[in-house]
Amino acid sequence: MALSKKEREVLYTKYDGRCAYCGGLLKKGWHADHIEAIVRDFKYNKEKSRFETTSTCRKPENEKLENYNPACASCNIQKNSFTIEEFRYNIKKFVASLNKNSTQYKFAKRYGLIQENDIPVTFYFERVEANQNTYN
């Protein structure tokens, strides 16, 4: 479902022009993320030697405005078709992955430029909703 200009405006203002996940200000090219994925179908194109999306999806019932969150491109790409909890879990694993695979990260940490925190991953929309519940 391609969102209309009006629907994109509604979605943009859902969190005051901020990404529902990281809370960063949305810039030109922001994404409309499916909170619960629709899971697009793919078909292999032999001529182009790649997979391409088809016009069908496995969960068309999730194709509604209420199932969208405004997202910056990097959050939407990282979230992919994960559930919110799967996305949270993957973010939590980033530090271990950096410690294992990134020489630059380990080097910066050794010199005190990075301080790791074992805190829960809380998304911006969760903080907004918690604040709204505090005032209601």
pTM: 0.83
Q: Is the pLDDT of residue 41 over 80?
A: no
C-beta of residue 69 within 8 angstroms of C-beta of residue 14: yes
Output the CA–CA distances (angstroms, integers) from residue 123 to 23, 75, 79, 85, 130, in the order listed: 8, 11, 12, 11, 11
Q: Is the pLDDT of residue 45 over 70?
A: yes
Q: Is the pLDDT of residue 15 over 80?
A: yes
Quick one: 66 exposed, middle or buried, by C-beta within 10 A (0-12, 13-18, 19+)?
Answer: exposed
Q: How many domains does the chain have?
A: 1
Average the pLDDT over 69-75 and give the result: 98
Q: Which of the pair, 42 or 31, is modelled with greater confidence?
A: 31
Give the domain extent around 26: 5-135
Q: How far apart are CA 80 and CA 6, in angstroms?
A: 25
